[in-house]
Chain A
Amino acid sequence: MIRYIRHAAAFCLLLLVALLVNAARVQVFEADALDDNPANRRTTIDRYDRPRGNILVGGRSVTGSKDTGEQLAYERTYRDGPLYAPVTGYASQTYGTTLIENAEDAVLSGTDPMLAPLPFWNEITRDRQPGGDVVTTVNDSMQRAAYEGLGGRRGAVAAVEPTTGRILALVSTPSYDPERLSGTGSSVTDAWRELNASTSQPMLNRAIRQTYPPGSTFKIVTAAAALDAEVVTDPDAATDTPSPYVLPGTSTTLPNEARGCEQASLAEAIRVSCNTVMAHLGVEVGLDGMVEAAEKFGFNDSGLKIPSGVARSNFDTDMSDDQLAQSAIGQFNTTATPLQMAMVASAVANGGDLMYPHLVDRTTTHSGSTVHTTGSRSSHRAMNPMTAMRLRQMMTDVVQDGTGTNAAIDGATVGGKTGTAQHGVDNSGLPYAWFIAWAQAEGSARPAVAVAVVVEDASADRADISGGGNAAPIARSVMEAALED
């Protein structure tokens, strides 16, 4: 019997070995695959089991976290959600993240290895750091000025600091409160459905994700191209623009909204916004020169990140001359984001040097020590310094006694350009009112701000819609806020 007992004991040992080998299989060899299974809630639970880091505007947090006591413990809260939604985006337990919440998620959720005090610290301690903070470049008073200026009309404002590329304001209206999407459950899914179904598209970030025909504001780009290509050597000299101007190769006459455009000089054409002169100059510069100039300002770049991706602003690279003529005045297939047009204004203000726009100043650990700083860096030389100096003067004239007088500010040099862009089939849609501008305080060596404003449905009569009338006052209040700081 002893022998058989030993055999039975060996059988029990076999069972033990089978259990241990199987345990090693599940817990070690297949563990990673099981951990990464999308149905495994642990990753999600870990993510929400501590407060998320905050997004700061002007030294104050515009976000927060609240403990709901549910399985996914912490939900995102927002202070003045609609105001900052185009900056922060949302952080939803149901629908993921967007904008800064998305681009800086690793810092905010605490998974970024740079948050750890030592390399491989998280791996060794099997812990996660508390969520770090994201300090934005946004200026609180400018953001509010822009938001209040738009007043719920469909539109957007983008403002940058020309010398650094810091984005000072990024507003899109109508907006939404991202806190409605933070949690889980039917209230969140209902809110999501409602926001997506709304015709006013409140979740669309018009400042960086929507492109509009830039209209006459694009004439700054055309003027820069003409000066750089030396098609125009003296901005005050009369041009040989035919009048009436017939689009090349067609029998269509290009109308002017302004008067006195016949043979007008470049400076005059910018001041009163002559379509004919600028369209003609665009054709004279030629397709290659115009494409090159537009791309130096940032057009046709689909890789711009601030750190969220910015929609590609378009200037066609293959056009007939009549199409080029229309494109030179910001029509045809030419489209731009408000941020892109703010970059155009900022390049002029900054002596031709285009700074790479950025929205995140730095990221810090929970205790405040800096993790990463977004330095200012030059993106392109958009034009010659001489060209920039001449354009500055021309844009200043627009505000002093041209189409943009609504943007004038006492005690500051302000340059601007209006635009009223047609769109829709046969231009049947309500035109978009544009205004791009920059401002430099008197006595200051450098420009304070460059801004682009677009108002989609200036809810007045069609005839009253204009860049100077609807968009310029908003730009002025934003620039005033910038100059006060």
Chain B
Amino acid sequence: MTATTADAPPPELRLPKRRGVELSLLIGAVLISVYGYAAVGLAHDDAVPPDVAGYGGGLGLLALLAHLAVRFRAPYADPLLLPIAVLLNGMGLVLIYRLDLETPKDQAAPTQLIWSTLGVAFFIAVVVFLRDHRVLQRYAYLSVAAALVLMIVPIFFPAVNGAKIWIRVGGFSFQPGEFAKILLAVFFAAYLAANHNALAYTGRRIWKLQLPTGRVLGPIVAIWLISVGVLVLERDLGTSLLFFGLFVILLYVATGRTGWIAVGLLLAAVGAFAVGSFEPHVHSRVQDWLDPFASIDAGRGPGQLAQSLFAFAAGGMLGTGLGLGHSILIGFAAKSDFILATAGEELGLTGLTALFMLYALLVARGYRAGLALRDAFGRLLAIGLASILALQVFVIAGGVMGLIPLTGMAMPFLAQGGSSVVTNWIIVALLIRVSDVARRPHPDEVETGVVAPVPENER
């Protein structure tokens, strides 16, 4: 054998942290948002908005603070999560600002910026103070109790636009159901992590279906009933669908029992059909979905869904360009539930696909963290949080584009709505936290990775 540089120590196994990647992507995300902001002003008023520097600086500062929190407290976190969140939040602000130009008396962008700041503050708080996600496992039952309270309280407040999902105190309003999503995800993950073996392998077998014992099944049935209760009492089909979908996905991932899933879906379908047929508010949504143009034929002009479809169609392949569409024709909820129609009209199918891919990437990174984690709770939490995003995007995007009946729900990060933005920032913070654990090198792995060199003279 020839002499080699065997004396040199072997390179230390070192997982890249990728914080530099995150920073450069963040710069890109902020620049894209600032460009969008300027493009709206140029198209609409032939001038760059005067506060573009302040806007860009503000968003950049938020992104930088979030980045620093991640760099020092979660250095191994997935580098894509934060830039995607910043880009989506930035685009949301651009779209809301753009719609504000059409409604001078109703300025939503400044409020949304304040909520975004609050969201980033929560993000930083979670990343800094939650050192390990497994701590949350201890608070499973506290979480579900809090979630139930948050969901039940709005029933005692007056309905807003047909849905009882708001709490209004003075001029301040928020949707507690948004925060309940996270609490429920934590509970489901903790409960299923603790009981998945009991669920999967114990219990009585009736015909081909193996049923778990009542003690284990009880809480799960309770949750199913709650989701139907939310649907009926709050007339909020979207949240109900989201809770149920989240529950089904986590149950499947924890146990792998497709049989129950089928039964659960069947029950959900029956429930949805019954409510869709007999509850007037939900029934009218289903009718709109089946024939969006019925109101035109009836001489009452186009309804919201028809206007939304017109907006998407006007966008076509490349869109009209930011600031040049007429999605404001949708009227009520153009900045919240129907914000995607503005994106579809002004950015076209191309821009819309890009937005969907950003969400898909966010979900995929969450799933990836779930795959890499070793503890069952962490896995289920990551899958649960990622699935909340996936389901929510599908339910609202499918709703405004006529794929499924429309349900009032906020497009994550894009739509106007403080509770939603804050909640989504917390979700991303939790994903950052679990992905940091998932990618963090294990001390024992590092040790086994060091192999003592064989001295040459022993050969």
**A462 at the B interface (CB under 8 A):** no
**A35 at the B interface (CB under 8 A):** yes
**A60 at the B interface (CB under 8 A):** no
Q: If the complex has contacts A18-B403, A19-B403, are A27 and B348 also in contact, measured as CB distance less than 8 A?
A: yes
Checking A13, A23, A37, A45 against B344 with a beta-carbon cut-off of 8 angstroms, the contacting residue is A23
B310 contacts A20, CB within 8 Å? no
Using Cβ atoms and an 8 Å threshold, which residues of chain B touch A11? 249
How far does the alpha carbon of A211 sit from the alpha carbon of B307 in the complex, in Å?
A: 47
**A445 at the B interface (CB under 8 A):** no
Interface string of A90-102 (1 = CB under 8 A from B): 0000000000000
How far does the alpha carbon of A16 sit from the alpha carbon of B349 in the complex, in Å?
A: 14
A34 contacts B367, CB within 8 Å? no
A42 contacts B348, CB within 8 Å? no
CB-CB nearest in chain A for B249: A8
CB-CB nearest in chain B for A21: B403
Using Cβ atoms and an 8 Å threshold, which residues of chain A touch B370? 5
How far does the alpha carbon of A27 sit from the alpha carbon of B402 in the complex, in Å?
A: 12
Mostly helix, strand, loop or mixed at chain B's interface?
helix
- Size category of the A interface is 35 or more
The residues in A between 151 and 206 inclusive whose CB is less than 8 angstroms from any CB of B are none
The number of inter-chain residue pairs (CB within 8 angstroms) is 124
Chain B: minimal CB distance from A357 (Å): 42
B356 contacts A8, CB within 8 Å? no
The residues in A between 1 and 58 inclusive whose CB is less than 8 angstroms from any CB of B are 1-9, 11-13, 15-16, 18-20, 22-24, 26-28, 30-35, 37-42, 45
B371 contacts A18, CB within 8 Å? no
Q: If the complex has contacts A20-B356, A34-B309, are A27 and B302 also in contact, measured as CB distance less than 8 A?
A: no
B249 contacts A26, CB within 8 Å? no
How far does the alpha carbon of A23 sit from the alpha carbon of B387 in the complex, in Å?
A: 21
Q: If the complex has contacts A5-B383, A12-B363, A12-B390, are A24 and B401 also in contact, measured as CB distance less than 8 A?
A: no
**A259 at the B interface (CB under 8 A):** no
Chain A: minimal CB distance from B175 (Å): 23
Chain B: minimal CB distance from A185 (Å): 17
- Size category of the B interface is 35 or more
How far does the alpha carbon of A6 sit from the alpha carbon of B379 in the complex, in Å?
A: 12
**B101 at the A interface (CB under 8 A):** no
Checking B252, B296, B316, B364 against A28 with a beta-carbon cut-off of 8 angstroms, the contacting residue is B316
B394 contacts A18, CB within 8 Å? yes
A8 contacts B252, CB within 8 Å? yes
Chain B: minimal CB distance from A16 (Å): 5
**B352 at the A interface (CB under 8 A):** yes
Chain A: minimal CB distance from B405 (Å): 14
How far does the alpha carbon of A1 sit from the alpha carbon of B255 in the complex, in Å?
A: 8
A19 contacts B387, CB within 8 Å? no
B397 contacts A12, CB within 8 Å? no
A15, A22, A126: which has the most chain B beta carbons within 10 Å? A15
Q: If the complex has contacts A1-B253, A9-B364, are A26 and B312 also in contact, measured as CB distance less than 8 A?
A: yes
B352 contacts A1, CB within 8 Å? no
List the 3 shortest-distance A-B pairs measured between CB atoms, nearest first: A34-B313, A31-B313, A27-B349
Can you offer 8 A-B residue contacts whose CB atoms are under 8 A?
A8-B387, A9-B367, A12-B387, A12-B390, A15-B394, A27-B317, A28-B349, A34-B312
List residues of chain A with CB under 8 Å of any chain B CB.
1-9, 11-13, 15-16, 18-20, 22-24, 26-28, 30-35, 37-42, 45, 126
| Additional A-B contact list (15), CB under 8 Å, known A4-B256, A13-B360 | A3-B256, A5-B371, A15-B391, A16-B390, A19-B394, A20-B353, A22-B398, A23-B356, A26-B309, A27-B349, A27-B352, A30-B313, A34-B309, A35-B310, A39-B310
